[in-house]
């Protein structure tokens, strides 16, 4: 297949490229990837398949050409929930439907699934090492971008210890299916239903993680009032210890947004994808929102204030 003959679509933060293929009146999407093919093609499709088996919606595979670095999936169009939220006034109504989708997804209890390569894929657990290593991408990639060399080592040591302590303060032990990138840009509105995409990083982990991804979404700016309403609606639907859930939600939100700052910096430095840098100031806003009046974050707040001035946090790269 000659990709040059197909219409290239806007990509995501992965190594995948997407193309729209036309066949008479029908269209489909070609998902092309040469790097990390297992995750970006095989596991990507396996999680889509699992979601469909569990009465959720995701793009179905039409054909696989793994040896030629691509798979073909159904075309759901370009109408993401992100785009809809930008236009609609009643945003809470949309979020109520998303919460129902999240609740259904958290009932998934399959620990493995067979891939189109006919091998069993075991969905991993969101271990302490995995969670903290992700948060520490902030230290690995962002610090060298904004701090002078003599400050980097000191900042790394202090923040490392604080992140370890934050993990120890998580309260909830129950493991649920976690999409891990559950935000409105990863949801397509097709035939009046919500379809989930980009689920290849799914794990079994903390029940508060995906809600933190949704509420404190760095790509979509929502008001504090709307954030509180979404949070409250989720709590109504789940039987959880409210105090422990709030504790974990806030810790996971902070860890996630530190990770995101690290990833967006890495995308710029390593992969020459600079468009994500403009989102970093809002990621800082979300971190500030959660640590502002929370005793869990006293140490982190002091250290961040010491090393990262308002000027650094609001820095916008061209």
Average pLDDT of 290-311? Answer: 95
Any domain includes 92: yes
Same domain, 69 and 196: no
Same domain, 35 and 102: no
Any domain includes 318: no
Q: Which of 50, 74, 98 lies at the terminal end of a domain, its last residue?
A: 74
Closest C-alpha to 140, from 258, 273, 306, 256: 258
CA 106 – CA 29 distance, rounded (Å)? 28
Domain containing 193 equals 81-313
Task: Copy the structure tokens of residue 207.
Answer: 């029940």
Q: Which residue has the higher pLDDT, 10 or 306?
A: 306
Helix, strand, coil content of the chain in percent (nearest 5): 55, 15, 30
Any domain includes 258: yes
Q: Kind and range of the H or E element at 71? A: strand 70-74
Confidence of residue 315 (pLDDT cuts 50, 70, 90): confident
Any domain includes 193: yes
CA 255 – CA 206 distance, rounded (Å)? 13
Given this model, what pLDDT does residue 221 score?
Answer: 95
CB atoms within 10 A of CB 20: 15
The structural domain count of the chain equals 2
Given this model, what pLDDT does residue 3 score?
Answer: 72
Same domain, 150 and 293: yes
Confidence of residue 80 (pLDDT cuts 50, 70, 90): very high
pTM for this one? Answer: 0.94
Given this model, what pLDDT does residue 317 score?
Answer: 67
Confidence of residue 64 (pLDDT cuts 50, 70, 90): very high
């Amino acid at each position: 297949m000659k990709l040059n003959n197909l219409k290239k679509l806007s990509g995501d933060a992965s190594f995948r490229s997407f193309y729209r293929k036309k066949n008479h009146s029908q269209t489909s999407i070609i998902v092309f990837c040469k790097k990390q093919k297992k995750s970006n093609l095989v596991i990507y499709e396996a999680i889509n398949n699992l979601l469909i088996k569990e009465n959720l919606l995701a793009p179905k595979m039409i054909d696989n050409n793994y040896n030629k670095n691509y798979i073909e999936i159904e075309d759901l169009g370009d109408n993401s929930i992100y785009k809809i939220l930008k236009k609609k006034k009643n945003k809470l109504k949309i979020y109520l439907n998303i919460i129902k989708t999240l609740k259904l997804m958290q009932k998934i209890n399959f620990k493995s699934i067979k891939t189109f390569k006919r091998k069993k894929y075991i969905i991993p657990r969101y271990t302490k090492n995995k969670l903290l290593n992700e948060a520490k991408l902030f230290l690995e990639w962002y610090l060298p971008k904004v701090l002078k060399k003599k400050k980097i080592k000191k900042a790394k040591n202090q923040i490392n210890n604080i992140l370890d302590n934050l993990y120890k303060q998580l309260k909830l032990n129950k493991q649920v299916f976690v999409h891990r990138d559950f935000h409105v840009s990863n949801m397509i509105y097709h035939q009046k239903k919500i379809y989930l995409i980009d689920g290849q990083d799914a794990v079994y982990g903390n029940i508060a993680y995906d809600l933190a991804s949704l509420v404190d979404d760095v790509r979509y700016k929502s008001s504090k009032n709307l954030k509180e309403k979404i949070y409250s609606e989720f709590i109504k639907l789940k039987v959880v210890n409210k105090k422990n859930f709030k504790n974990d939600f806030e810790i996971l939100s902070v860890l996630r947004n530190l990770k995101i700052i690290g990833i967006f910096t890495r995308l710029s430095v390593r992969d020459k994808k600079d468009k994500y840098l403009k989102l970093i100031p809002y990621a800082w806003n979300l971190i500030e929102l959660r640590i502002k009046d929370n005793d869990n974050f006293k140490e982190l707040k002091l250290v961040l204030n010491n090393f990262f001035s308002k000027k650094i946090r609001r820095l916008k790269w061209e």
